[in-house]
Chain A
Amino acid sequence: MELVPAPRIPPFELFYREHRDAVLGLLRRRLGAAAAEDAFQETFLRALAAYGRLRHAEHLRSWVLTIASNVAIDTLRRMRPTTEPPDLPYEDARPAYEELGELTNGLPPKERAAVVLRYGYDLTYDQIATALDSSPVAARQAASAGVRRLRGKKER
């Protein structure tokens, strides 16, 4: 039997060089170019503060992207009070979100919120991500999963 030695935790310099571009990419998608810079610093300072306590070298990429994601959420929370609520489309008839509210009753909460915000309020996935403390990709996935589930229900 061959024992595979556990990968060693690299010196921070190497860890930083390997993941900095991916971290900046995630933060730009979530926050835009300007806010991403401060969040970038914050992310790697948090990682540095915790780095001495790391126990193993696996999943370092997801570890640092999780930190980046949390920093993005904190940043958006701080930004939110100053941002205007998105304009909702005005309609004379019964608003789409009310209809959707009933239709989507029974979907898992995240999918329901994503479907209603996307098709009822016509928000972009970026706006939905902001509203749900999630990423645009996750918001898009939740919305399409919700739609697929609704289709499945109808056909049955």
Chain B
Amino acid sequence: MTVSTDLDRRFREAAVRAGLLDAGFDVVDSPVGPLLVAATDLGILRISFDADPDRQLDRLAEIAGRRILRAPRAVDPVRRELDEYFERRREVFDLTVDLRGTTPFTVQVLDELARVPYGQTATYGELAARVGRPKAARAIGMIMNHNPIPIVLPCHRIVGANGSLVGYGGGLDRKEQLLRLEGALL
């Protein structure tokens, strides 16, 4: 007895409407490839370039709770703003983020990261200085590399002191693509 696509979709929608989910997720198409997006009542929980949910569900459940379900409706606001961003109709995201599962220092760094404006870059050292740890450029690099919400928290805007792209959790090609989209690279 196989559950029809329609019945399956209706249950997933009902679960969101009933407010019973700790987190909802879906795979969102984008010019930089499919993105796994997860959201909770607090905001965006995860954006991942590894779009296979099954590799992340356990970790997400640890953070947000085990009542986690694929539910397109739950990430609709994120999908909308990402679409606008990739169509160059949006420079600032109006979405809240759910940073449970990260350390207070990481939250502080990501908070500062979010202030780096669209179309501009900053260096790892500059970001380190802005959080009062001028010598922590390497630690900042690690935090960028493990950014749970790339694109919305714009770690692609953080580059090396000599202007080289250095690295990116989603691969350097994507970093370049995002910076070009924003007009930060010619």
Contacts and interface: CB of A to CB of B under 8 A. Distances in A.
A28 B1 contact: yes
B150 interface: no
Q: Is the interface of A mostly helix, strand, loop or mixed?
A: helix
B133 interface: no
**3 nearest A-B pairs in the assembled complex, by CB-CB distance:** A25-B1, A11-B61, A11-B57
A155 interface: no
B68 interface: yes
A4 to B, nearest CB: 19
Contacts of A9: 66
Q: How big is chain A's contact interface, by range?
A: 20 to 34
B8 interface: yes
Interface in B1-56: 1-3, 7-8, 10-11, 14-15, 18, 20-22, 53-54
Interface of B: 1-3, 7-8, 10-11, 14-15, 18, 20-22, 53-54, 57-58, 60-61, 65-70
A11 B69 CA distance: 8
A37 B57 contact: no
A49 B3 CA distance: 21
Contacts of B53: 13
A152 interface: no
A9 B66 CA distance: 8
A16 to B, nearest CB: 7
Given A12-B66, A12-B68, A13-B68, A21 B3 contact: yes
B67 A52 contact: yes
Interface of A: 9-14, 16, 20-22, 24-25, 28, 37, 40-41, 44-45, 48-49, 51-52
Contact of A44 (B15, B22, B65, B66): B15
A16 B11 CA distance: 10
A40 B9 CA distance: 12
Given A12-B68, A52-B66, 6 more contacts: A13-B68, A24-B7, A40-B11, A45-B15, A45-B20, A48-B20
A16 B66 CA distance: 12
A20 B68 contact: no
Contacts of B65: 52
Given A11-B57, A11-B58, A48 B3 contact: no
B41 to A, nearest CB: 14
A16 B69 contact: yes
B67 A51 contact: yes
